Amino acid sequence: MTHLRCSVSHCETTLDLHDRALACPKCGNLLEVAIEAPKTGVPELKRLWLDRRTSNDARDASGVWRFREFLPDGYGPAGIVTLGEGNVPLVRGQKTAAWAGLNRLWFKHLGWNPTGSFKDLGMTAGMTEAKFAGATAVACASTGNTAASLAAYAARAGMAGRVYLPAGQASANKLAQALDFGAELIEIEGSFDDALNILLEKADPNLYFLNSINPFRIEGQKTAMFELFEQLEWRVPDYLVLPGGNLGNSSAFGKAFMELKRYGFIEKVPRIVIVQAKGANPLARMWAAGATELEAVAQPETDATAIRIGNPRSWKKALDGVRFSGGRVMDVTDEEIGEAKAMIGRDGIGCEPASATTLAGLRKLVASGEVDRDAEVVAILTGHALKDTDYIIKSRKAAR
Ligand code: F0G
């Protein structure tokens, strides 16, 4: 049976799947969902997942739930809270590829999800579990995107949504979404990290907690990698590059690679490259120093407000994925992010600032010779261009 277990493998603590604990009762580390070997063969499952794209069943039409053999399941078709998330395109980089010096660059645009960010992939799984648990109110701390996503899915589930945001730091577009979907906004003086601490300290039993330390969120986000391999006809690219904030998404992708390799869907995995913003770079610093513990950045600062995070909770899980894949962690300046974001716009794709860390990082890795020009590279765009319109208008004014 699918169950929860401690994410630190030598701890070996296991819990019931629906236990609402967020940390291992024995060692305090984060929990994860343990996925059993699928009962169907590999070629049959690959075929079935693809076939489901032509089905109108709500679970099949979701780019998350059509991979349900690798998800906590048993909710039944009526139990799923979905907005038809996932199934987003893989777009070839043109001007961006030339700018970074690459011949084979792809963007997987997770910003083209219902609320405009990758958070929807995790939120459908988290909200489905919240509903199963009988929750009537859900909450998260957020730099904006999780708030927008939680608000939409809570509305669908008929639950009250409450979002804790660092005052004056989330983009107006994201706030507007959360308000539009009817969530209650609580603004905290301080950073995202402070907002998360305040929420966690509350430990209100009437509030179901939906940040990415919730292991169900990670399961939903994981499916982006299943869909990516499917789009590449199960060819494995050399690199998978993504932005790092609280490091939930990096953890999710690492988990996907481990499971798909263990159960024989792929023979090797792409190297995971996590890119942080220089002013909010605790994992990149740790990586550069070869340290064994993460030191938080007390006052994170970057114009890429989505990733203005100094104390990422999922750093251990994320690092496991980077090491497993032979990847690395790095950082880029706000100026480099700005240039890369403008290029992604000129390529007709667009993204929010945090997502542009990927192209900025890639350009540096190709210039230094670490990434070969002919490598096949997939960059993850995490948020839609319209997520932070102030940033775009301000950049244009500055360029005049
Ligand atoms: N990109 C965007 C657009 C984000 O909104 C986030 C995180 C990240 C990247 C980083 O992902 O935290 O999994 O490493 N946004 C969160 C939020 C923190 O509240 O919306 P991560």
Q: What is the DSSP string of 22-49?
A: SB-TTT-PBEEEEPPPPSS-HHHHHHHH
The amino acid at 275 = V
- Closest C-alpha to ligand 1, atom 12: 246
Instruction: Compute the distance between CA of residue 177 and CA of residue 183 in angstroms, rounded to an integer.
Output: 9
Rounded-to-10 torsion of CA 339, 343, 346, 352: -80
Token pair in block for residue 390: 């102030």
Q: What is the average pLDDT across 246-258?
A: 98
Q: How many angstroms does the Cα of residue 362 sit away from the middle of ligand 1?
A: 19
Tell me which residue of 316, 242, 249 sits closest to 276, measured CA to CA.
242
pLDDT (tens digit, 9 = 90+) per residue, 257-267? 999 999 999 99
φ, ψ of residue 298 in degrees (nearest 5): -65, -40
Q: Which of 123, 143, 193 to mutate to test the pocket of ligand 1 (most atoms within 8 A of CB)?
A: 143
Rounded CA gap, 301 and 16, in Å?
39
8-state DSSP, 234:
T
Compare 203 and 254 and report the one with higher pLDDT.
254
CA 175 / ligand 1 centre spacing (Å):
15
Q: Distance between CA atoms of 383 and 68, rounded to whole angstroms?
A: 24
- Give 287 Cα–ligand 1 centroid separation in angstroms: 20
Q: Which of 117, 332, 387 to mutate to test the pocket of ligand 1 (most atoms within 8 A of CB)?
A: 117
pLDDT of residue 74: 86
Tell whether the model's pLDDT for residue 400 goes beyond 80: no
Q: Which residue's alpha carbon is nearest to atom 7 within ligand 1? A: 306
**Rounded distance from Cα 42 to ligand 1 centre (Å):** 32
Task: Name the burial class of residue 142, with classes exposed (0-12), middle (13-18) and buried (19+) by CB atoms within 10 angstroms of its CB.
Answer: buried
Give the number of the atom of ligand 1 that is nearest the alpha carbon of residue 149: 20
The binding-site residues of ligand 1, defined as CB within 6 angstroms of any ligand atom, are 117, 119, 142-146, 212, 243-250, 306-307, 352, 354-355, 382-383
If you average pLDDT over residues 136-144, what whole number do you get? 98
Contacts (Cβ under 8 Å, ≥6 apart) of 95: 343, 346, 347
Please choose, from the candidates 217, 339, 352, 332, the residue with its C-alpha nearest in 3D space to the C-alpha of residue 281. 332
Q: pLDDT tens digit string along 299-345? A: 999 999 999 999 999 999 999 999 999 999 999 999 999 999 999 99
Q: How far is CA 215 from the centre of its chain?
A: 12
- Cβ(94)–Cβ(347) under 8 Å? yes
Residue 1 has pLDDT above 80, yes or no: no
Whole-number Å distance, alpha carbon 296 to ligand 1 midpoint, is: 17
Local confidence band at 73 (pLDDT 50, 70, 90 cut-offs): confident
356 pLDDT band, cuts 50/70/90, is very high
Mutate which of 145, 315, 388 to test ligand 1's pocket (most atoms within 8 Å of Cβ)? Answer: 145
For the CA of 140, the closest atom of ligand 1 is 19
Tokens found for residue 197:
């601490």
- pLDDT (mean) for 223-236: 98
User: Average pLDDT for residues 160-171, to the nearest whole number?
Assistant: 97
3 forms beta bridges with: 34
pLDDT of residue 156: 98
CA atoms of 52 and 44, how far apart (whole Å)? 12
